[in-house]
Amino acid sequence: MFRFANVMGCILFYGFAGIFSAKAQSYPVKALRLVVASSPGSGVDIVARLVSPKLAEALSQQVIVDNRAGAGGNLGAAFAARSAPDGYTLFLATPAHAISGSVPGAKSGYDMVRDFVPISLLTTGHYMLVVHPSVPAKSAKELIALAKARPDRLNYASAGNGNATHLAGELFNMMAAVKTVHVPYKGGGHARTELLGGQVDFMFHNITAVLGDVKDGRLRALAVTGLKRALAAPEIPTMNESALRGYEITSWFGVVAPTGTPQAAVTRLHGELTKVMQSGDIREKLAVLGSEAIGGGSADFATHLRAEQEKWGRLIKQAGIRLE
């Protein structure tokens, strides 16, 4: 009798284990949503629309890019953080979202470390200092000289208060000892449009979003913000070498999901995204846009997020930035 019960117990145990295993392996069973906290045409949107078809193919499910711009990227991030942690809502995070919790007075509605589980760091790259062609500056040094000659008269666009594009401008002001006026917009796409129209003078924008404008002559590139020149635009000097020694800000994009997302989904997504980012055509397309494909692991991405919060927090404190 004991042997019979033992055998039945094993059958039930392995039967249920098989059911749960099959359930985990069946993910996903419906379309996924990739939330982008910026408008169409922004750097993060471009990357999302490059990666999503490849991820959809790997998962055999549609991946819908859901643009939710506003509040310097916080609107989309807060929406994603409140979404069901079922593996079907993903969020494409940027430095802006690591920054949000570090800005005194900011009311972002989420915490990047508390409310999200990191899945994969997709890319790293540069921001690019670009000016409208009407601005009579052909280099970062000339822009600094112009700003010193015209205090509080030059203005720069950003994707929103506390956004990385805002802090890049504040770091420029602080290190160059100049006064330029910050003009925040509801997302990088809107800011870029206003810069193209000449409503603002300059901007630090993701290279992915503005490199085409530079090549077409609609904007003039003065510098990139990494310590090494961008492979996509090697003729453009870095801020560090051309004007401000020690100036460095890098951009990145990474996929996260709401905290509580099943580990099976996180593991599957990380594996497929790593393969996507290793594919030759994705790497080539990103390189042309000025970004480097990474596809890093969840643990590495978590470490990266914490380091980013610490770095931006120091800059915010030094610059005295508040968002009451």
Residue 22: per-residue pLDDT: 43
Positions of CATH 3.40.190.10 in the chain: 127-242
* 25 confidence band (pLDDT: 50, 70, 90): low
Instruction: Transcribe 157-185 into DSSP letters.
Output: EESSTTSHHHHHHHHHHHHHT---EEEE-
What is the average per-residue pLDDT within 298-308? 88
Nearest by Cα to 263 from 19, 23, 18 = 23
Q: What is the pLDDT of residues 126-177, one digit of tens each?
A: 999 999 999 999 999 999 999 999 999 999 999 888 888 999 999 999 999 9
Tell me the pTM.
0.79
* Over residues 177-184, mean pLDDT: 96
Query: Residue 104's pLDDT is what?
Result: 66
Q: What is the rounded average pLDDT of the residues 70-85?
A: 90
Give residue 297's pLDDT: 79
CATH fold of the domain at 24-125+250-319: D-Maltodextrin-Binding Protein; domain 2 (3.40.190)
pLDDT reported for residue 2: 41
Domain with CATH 3.40.190.150 in the chain: 24-125+250-319
Q: Rounded distance, CA 90 to CA 265, Å?
A: 11
Query: Does the pLDDT value for residue 9 go beyond 70?
Result: no
Mean pLDDT (whole number) for 241-263: 95
pLDDT at 321: 76
The correct answer on CATH 3.40.50.300 for the domain covering 127-242 is: no
- Check: CB of residue 182 under 8 Å from CB of residue 170: yes
Model confidence pLDDT, tens digit, residues 207-251:
988 999 999 999 999 999 999 999 889 999 999 999 999 999 988
Retrieve residue 146's tokens: 């112009």
Higher pLDDT, 60 or 112: 60
pLDDT at residue 323 in the model: 62
pLDDT at 18: 43
